[in-house]
Amino acid sequence: MNRLHHLLGFACCGLGLLGSVAQADERELKVYNWFDYITPQTLEQFKRDSQIKLTYDIFDTNEALEAKLLTGNSGYDLVVPSNVFLGKQIEAGVFQTLDRSKLPNWRHLDPQLMKLIEANDPGNQHAVPYMYGTVLIGFNPAKVTAALGEDAPVDSWDLIFKEENISKLKQCGVALLDSPSEILPVALQQLGLPPSSPEPEDYAKAEALMLKIRPYITYFHSSKYMADIANGDICVAVGYSGSFSQAANNARQANNGVTVDMRLPKEGAPIWFDMMAIPKDAKNVEEAHAFIDFLLQPAVIAPISDFVGYPNPNQDATPLVAEAIRNNPNLYPTAAALKTLYTLKPLPRAAERARTRAWSRIKTGS
């Protein structure tokens, strides 16, 4: 994305009889956000309203962002990590504490969602949520009904984790995210264990469950499933809520006869947040706060949700979001569903190693 620049002029003091040169002041801001995650009109409006020079760059993985942050010289004033990475980065002292007095639009944020975020940012001191979503089940209704009948448990993780179900879906294709940090918590939950268990031995149990269903999984990938389910090449995927929204739109636009639907499992699921935070080395802190507060305006954030297909955590923006998004309980979880959702937490090193080893064996099927 483009960056926000705040170019400060310098007061040059002359020596002797030269006098002084007038100071020129140009405000600047540098932002680092996810690819294709804001409308161009939003950026233009901010530049026009604030008269701040904006540099907006993009990244496509949390790891790419973290590599810049951990150098201690990121070059950015505002970044957008996901909440689990944010938690680790806060512990590492990467971010500044927010100045709430500069964020009057904070009042629009949903208190229930902010409470969930405290698992990664205690007291909501370091970051403001931008967009959020869940890990859930996307499916092709016609193909799933053909395989399992009208009573297929599409609203339950049993669709994936019970062999009698997934074995019948193999014929039409099943894909899972290539993400141990998001799939294994669901497997742990299915076993009645904490989704972010710190115990290494729990990952052996999750591995055993996954290996039972491994023969019926077509592939693991974190983006391929979007096109494949829209094209009818697979019938079920475990992926991100907004991805299935986009896949459904793509199928409709292609007029290919494929319908893509999604369900938030009744047992609960991981919820993630992409968070706006100010690095310790930020040079334009005032401008970073101004950009955050700008995005906290309901009339500003609602069109972004329409564009990206993800809900935003601004409760006063919800009536302004397109009906197809805001009235879909699988995209905008109900108050009852929110109680079943959980944020994921960073693991102790031993548990993280156990999870990584388990995932390697699951993917190879050995």
Q: Which position has the token pair 């993917």?
A: 363
3-state class of 17 per DSSP?
helix
- Tell me the domain boundaries of the chain: 3-125+274-332, 134-270+344-364
Reduce the secondary structure of 54-100 to three states and give it as a string. Answer: EEEEEECCHHHHHHHHCCCCCCCCEECCEHHHHHHHHHCCCECCCCH
Provide the pLDDT for residue 12.
37
Provide the pLDDT for residue 35.
87
Helix (H) or strand (E) holding 262, with range, is strand 261-263
For residues 23-52, average pLDDT: 91
CA–CA distance, 131 with 80 (Å, rounded to integer): 10
- In angstroms, the first-to-last Cα distance of the chain is 41
C-beta of residue 81 within 8 angstroms of C-beta of residue 131: no
User: Would you state the CATH architecture of domain 134-270+344-364?
Assistant: 3-Layer(aba) Sandwich (3.40)
Residue 74 has pLDDT above 70, yes or no: yes
Domain 3-125+274-332 has CATH 3.60.20.30: no
CA–CA distance, 52 with 360 (Å, rounded to integer): 47
pLDDT digit string (tens) for 149-179? 999 999 999 999 999 999 999 999 999 999 8
Provide the pLDDT for residue 15.
35
Provide the pLDDT for residue 250.
93
pLDDT digit string (tens) for 280-322? 999 999 999 999 999 999 999 999 999 988 999 999 999 999 9
Structure token pair of residue 68: 């810049």
Average confidence score pLDDT of the chain: 91
Residue 14 has pLDDT above 60, yes or no: no
For residues 124-145, average pLDDT: 97
Provide the pLDDT for residue 8.
31
Residue 47 has pLDDT above 90, yes or no: yes
Q: Which of 21-25, 130-134, 242-246 has the lowest mean pLDDT?
A: 21-25
3-state class of 150 per DSSP?
coil
Provide the pLDDT for residue 32.
97
Provide the pLDDT for residue 63.
83
Where are the alpha helices (H) located in 132-177, listed in sequence order?
141-148, 158-161, 163-169
Nearest alpha carbon to residue 109 among 96, 99, 100: 100
CA–CA distance, 83 with 90 (Å, rounded to integer): 10
Q: Decide whether 3-125+274-332 matches 134-270+344-364 in CATH topology.
A: yes
Claim: this prediction has a pTM higher than 0.75? yes
Please state at what angle helix 180-190 crosses helix 349-364, rounded to 10 degrees.
90
Provide the pLDDT for residue 111.
95
In this prediction, residue 62 has a pLDDT band, given cuts at 50, 70 and 90, of confident
Residue 270 has pLDDT above 50, yes or no: yes
For residues 190-194, average pLDDT: 97
